[in-house]
A and B are shown apart, each in its own frame.
Chain A
């Protein structure tokens, strides 16, 4: 199956700092999503981004499918950004299995 590795595994930021999270995957994918898991376990869909670049407020993401990686940018971080960030990928077709990465645990301090 597809291997999905994320880096860094842990990250501590001071409020207001910027950060870049990386997701590498081992095979071609037609589907990639970034999620934020809050302290209650809920997965918040941040981006559906199998290719290209998207922005939503302080967050943006870029996927370079041909080089098998995706980046999530967080600017001007806030304490509410704390949690675990997962990328997840799937092969062709909307009913393909979604494989999750190893996650990046982010803590934003005052």
Chain B
């Protein structure tokens, strides 16, 4: 089946630094990928849509300068949390649409900013 690989699975960073999260589709090509954020005991909220070869589309209320998205190829999208602060601590998870299986998700990245 379709596989999406996400790294790192867990990261702890100091306040003010930047963190990059990678999302790769391993056995299929994805012109579009999605980035979600999940706070404890809450549902997943879509942050942005990553488009290969063009700018990402951000949901209302998501700061595009803080959450930089790059979709460099048909199999790789990256999310960079810039100048991270403790309130950015959350679970970030990517997904890609696959024709056969709907949407496939990565394993997620738990970010802790100290």
Binding site for B on A (CB under 8 A): 31, 33, 35, 40-43, 45, 48, 86, 88, 90, 94-95, 97-103
| Chain B residues within an 8 Å CB radius of A95 | 31-32, 49, 97
Q: Is B54 an interface residue when CB atoms closer than 8 A count as contact?
A: no
Q: How far is the CA of A41 from the CA of B98 in the complex (A)?
A: 21
Q: B46 touches which one: A42, A48, A99, A102 (CB < 8 A)?
A: A99
Contact across chains for A41 and B105 when beta carbons are under 8 A apart: no
Contact across chains for A42 and B107 when beta carbons are under 8 A apart: yes
Q: Is the interface of B mostly helix, strand, loop or mixed?
A: strand
Q: Is B93 an interface residue when CB atoms closer than 8 A count as contact?
A: yes
Binding site for A on B (CB under 8 A): 31-32, 34, 36, 38, 43-46, 49, 91, 93, 95, 97-99, 101-105, 107-108, 110
Q: How far is the CA of A33 from the CA of B102 in the complex (A)?
A: 7
Contact across chains for A48 and B43 when beta carbons are under 8 A apart: no
Contact across chains for B46 and A31 when beta carbons are under 8 A apart: no
What are 6 contact pairs spanning A and B, CB under 8 A? A42-B107, A45-B101, A86-B43, A86-B44, A97-B46, A97-B49
Q: How far is the CA of A94 from the CA of B103 in the complex (A)?
A: 8
Q: B102 touches which one: A48, A99, A102 (CB < 8 A)?
A: A48
Q: A41 touches which one: B43, B97, B108 (CB < 8 A)?
A: B108
Contact across chains for B93 and A48 when beta carbons are under 8 A apart: no
Contact across chains for A45 and B43 when beta carbons are under 8 A apart: no
Q: Which chain B residue shows the least CB distance to A6?
A: B43
Contact across chains for A102 and B43 when beta carbons are under 8 A apart: yes
Contact across chains for B31 and A41 when beta carbons are under 8 A apart: no
Contact across chains for A97 and B44 when beta carbons are under 8 A apart: no
Contact across chains for A41 and B110 when beta carbons are under 8 A apart: yes
| Chain A residues within an 8 Å CB radius of B105 | 35, 42-43, 45
Contact across chains for A98 and B43 when beta carbons are under 8 A apart: no
